[in-house]
Amino acid sequence: MEDISIGNEIKDGFKRTDKWVKANIGFIGEMESFYKQRALIEREYAEKLQKLTSESFQKVSKLSPTLSVGEEPTITPGSLECASVVAWKEVLVQTENIAKEKRDLGSNFETNVAASLSNLQSKYSAIRDRWKGFDDELTSIRDKNYNEMSVRKKHYDSCCESMESQRSKSMKSSGERAQEKLAKRESEMNIAKNYYLITISVCNRLKDKYYYQDTPELLDGLQDLNEAKVSKVNSILLSSSILEKESNENINKFVDAIDVVVKQNLPKLDTAMFVKHNMANWVEPVDFNYIPSQIWHDDEKMIVNDATLTSLKIKLNNACSNYETYTNICNDEKQAVEELLVQRNKLVGDTFNEVQIKSPADYQCFEDLLIKSIQNLQKFTNDDTKRVMAEVEIETIQSSTGDIDMTITTPITKEKKSKFGFLKFKHDQDEDVEPQIQQLSESVNNISIEPSNRKGRMFSSLGKLVDAYNTPVNQRAPSLNFSTGGNGSISASASTLPAGVITTATALYAYEVTGDDELPMASGETFTVVESDDGSGWTCVSNSSGSEGLVPTSYLKIEEHKQQKKQGPKVSPRKNARLVKKMKIIYDYEAQGDDELTVKAGDIVVILNEDDGSGWTEGEIDGYTGLFPTSYGRTV
C-alpha cells in the first residue's frame, strides 16, 4: 500500500485525528475485557469438566467389577478391568488433561494477553497525552502572537487617534510647542505602525508554520502512534492465537490418546474376560425318571398290549405327521436364521476386526436385522420344540413296540367343536376312509428318525465361523478346524496355529510376571507364539532361550509369516482311506462321569467325534473312549 500521511491530506485536523486515535486506544480496553471474560469462561469450563470427570470416575470405579465380570463371578478379577472400562477410563483421564489444558489457557489469556493489552492502553494513552500537550503548546504560542498583534493594532489605533487630536489642536495654535507635540505624536504613530506591521508579518509566518509544518508533524505523530498501536495489538492477538493453537494441539494429542485405546477395545475382549471369570464346574440337572404310584407298584416299561396298542398307533401316527410337518418348517426357519446371522456379520463384521466408525444407517440396518433375528429365532425355537417333542414320541414308541406292526386299521375318530363350542363326534363312514388311513399309516413302521443333537447348540458352528471371520489382525481368536459331517452339519474344534504359518510376536511394553505360568517380557523382545489367545486375553509364547509362558495379548504385536514349502506332485487319494485326527492334551482332566475320559497333559488322543459346538470332543486313548473338554487339547 502507498504511504499515506494524515498531515499531508488533512489540514488543521488535529482535533479530529486526536479524537480518532483516542477512540482506538480506548478500544484496547474492550479487547482486554474480552480476554478477561474469555479467561473466566475457560476456567469455569475447566472446573465443570474436572467436576464431571471426577463424578464419572467415582461411578465407574463402583461399577467396574460388575461391568467386567458380572455380579457373581466365580473368579474375582482383582485389579483387572474389561476393555470397555479401560477405554472409558482413558476417556476420563484425557478429559481431565483437557480440563487442565483449558485452565492453563485461561490463565495465559489473563496473564499474557489481557495484561499486555492493559499495559498497551496505558502506555499509548500516555504517549497520546504528550502529543496533545505538544499541540496545546503550539496553539498557545500561536494564540499569544495573535493576541500581541491585536495589542499592536489597538496601540496603533490609539496612536492614530492621538495624532489626529494633536493635529486638530495644532491647526488652532501655530505655536512652537504645539508643533513639537504634533511631531512627537506623529513619531509615536509611525513607531506603533511599524511594530504593528512587524507583528503582522510574524503572525503570518507563524500561521503558515503552524498549519504547514507544525500541525502536519503532529498529525503524522498521531498517525504513527495509532499504527504502532495496531501493530502491537496484532502482535498480541497473534500471540493469543499461538497460545490457543498450542492448547488445541495438546488437546488433539489427548484425543488421539483416547483413539489409540478405543481402537484396542475389540468387542470380543469384554466377552472373553466375563467368560474367563465366570466359568465353573457346571453339573447338568439329572434326567427325569419314572416314579411309580404309591398305591400301584410298577416298572418303567411301557405297556404294549391289545388294549393300549390302538392308542399308541394313533399317538405314533400323529407324532409322525407332526414330525414331518415341523421338520420341513424348521429347515426353512433355520435357514432364515442363518441367513440373518450372515447378513449381520457382513454388515458390521469388519468392526470386530478393527474398531472403526460405521454410518448410522449401517447400525440402524444391523439393529433391524437383530430384531428380525430375535423374531425368527423365537419362531424357530418354538417350532423346533414341537419337532423334538414329536421326534421323542416316535423314538419312545418305536423303541417300546419293536417289530410290532403299527399300521392303523380302524378309522380315526375326529373331534370337532360345534358352533356352540361343545365337542361333537363325527364318524366318517365313507368307503375310502379306511384305505386312506391304511395307506397313511403304513409308512409308520418304516419311518427312520435321525436323532437330533441333544446337548449341542443349533447355531454354534455358524457362530464360530463368525468368530473366525472376525479375528483381529493383531490378536487371534480361538483357531478352529471345520469339517462337514454326514448330515451336512458343521463341527468345530479348538486347534493350534495353521500349518505352514510361523507366528512371531514383539513385546510393545515390559511385563513382570504375577504367576508361575507367566513369562516376563522386556520392551522390544521377540517371541514365538506357541498357542494363540483363546479369548482370555493371554497368549502362550516362547522366548529365545526356549522358556514358555503366558503373556498379555495386548502387550504384543503379532505377525504371521507363511512358511515356503516345496510341493511335490499331486498324489491321488487312496480309496476308502480314513483321515485319523489326533489331539495333544495340554492340561490334566479327571473324568466327572461314566461317559467322560480321563486325560493327562502330553497324552495323544485319537479323535472319534469332533466337537459339535458343545465344547466336548469324543476320543480314544489306550483302548478307553469318552468325552473330554476340547479346550484342554490342541490338534496335532
- Residue 38 maps to which CATH number? 1.20.1270.60
Whole-number Å distance between alpha carbons of 460 and 616: 13
The x, y and z cell numbers of residue 200, run together, are 503582522
Contact of 109 with 243, CB cutoff 8 Å = yes
Q: Residue 488 — left, alpha, or beta (φ > 0 → left; ψ -120 to 50 → alpha)? A: left
Helix (H) or strand (E) holding 218: helix 215-262
215 and 311 inside one domain: no
Whole-number Å distance between alpha carbons of 462 and 335: 11
Q: Could you tell me which residues come within 8 angstroms of residue 170 by beta carbon, excluding any fewer than 6 positions away?
A: 178, 179, 181, 182
Q: Tell whether 411 is covered by a domain.
A: yes
Q: Is 479 exposed, middle or buried, given 0-12, 13-18 or 19+ CB atoms closer than 10 A?
A: buried
Please count the structural domains in the chain. Answer: 2
Contact of 526 with 474, CB cutoff 8 Å = no
The pLDDT of residue 289 is 87
| Crossing angle of helices 14-69 and 83-108, rounded to 10° | 160
The pLDDT of residue 334 is 87
In this prediction, the residues of the chain whose per-residue pLDDT falls under 70 are 1, 349-354, 408-502, 535-536, 561-579
Tell me the whole-structure pTM to 2 decimals: 0.56
117 and 232 inside one domain: yes
The CA-atom distances, in angstroms, between 165 and each of 16, 151, 159 are: 50, 21, 10
Whole-number Å distance between alpha carbons of 185 and 162: 7
112 and 234 inside one domain: yes
> Which residues lie across from 224 on neighbouring strands?
none
251 and 314 inside one domain: no
Q: Is 312 exposed, middle or buried, given 0-12, 13-18 or 19+ CB atoms closer than 10 A?
A: buried
The pLDDT of residue 306 is 83
Q: Tell whether 504 is covered by a domain.
A: no
The pLDDT of residue 401 is 85
What is the chain's Cα-based Rg?
Answer: 52
The pLDDT of residue 231 is 96
Q: Tell whether 497 is covered by a domain.
A: no
Residue 602 DSSP SS3: coil
With CA atoms as reference, report the closest residue to 341 among 321, 369, 368: 369
247 and 360 inside one domain: no
| Crossing angle of helices 14-69 and 215-262, rounded to 10° | 10
198 and 311 inside one domain: no
247 and 319 inside one domain: no
The pLDDT of residue 272 is 87
229 and 321 inside one domain: no
202 and 107 inside one domain: yes
Q: Tell whether 347 is covered by a domain.
A: yes
Whole-number Å distance between alpha carbons of 608 and 605: 9
Q: Tell whether 5 is covered by a domain.
A: no
- Which of 419, 452, 469 is the C-terminal boundary of a domain? 469
Q: Tell whether 303 is covered by a domain.
A: yes
- Which of 469, 504, 534 is the C-terminal boundary of a domain? 469
The boundaries of the domain holding residue 19 are 14-262
Q: Is 425 exposed, middle or buried, given 0-12, 13-18 or 19+ CB atoms closer than 10 A?
A: exposed
Whole-number Å distance between alpha carbons of 545 and 406: 72
> Which residues lie across from 410 on neighbouring strands?
none
Q: Tell whether 592 is covered by a domain.
A: no
- Which of 469, 497, 517 is the C-terminal boundary of a domain? 469
The pLDDT of residue 105 is 95
303 and 452 inside one domain: yes
The pLDDT of residue 291 is 86
312 and 202 inside one domain: no
29 and 150 inside one domain: yes
| Crossing angle of helices 306-348 and 360-401, rounded to 10° | 160
Q: Give tens-digit pLDDT for 127-156.
A: 999 999 999 999 999 899 999 999 999 999
Q: Tell whether 370 is covered by a domain.
A: yes
Contact of 292 with 556, CB cutoff 8 Å = no
Amino acid at 331: N
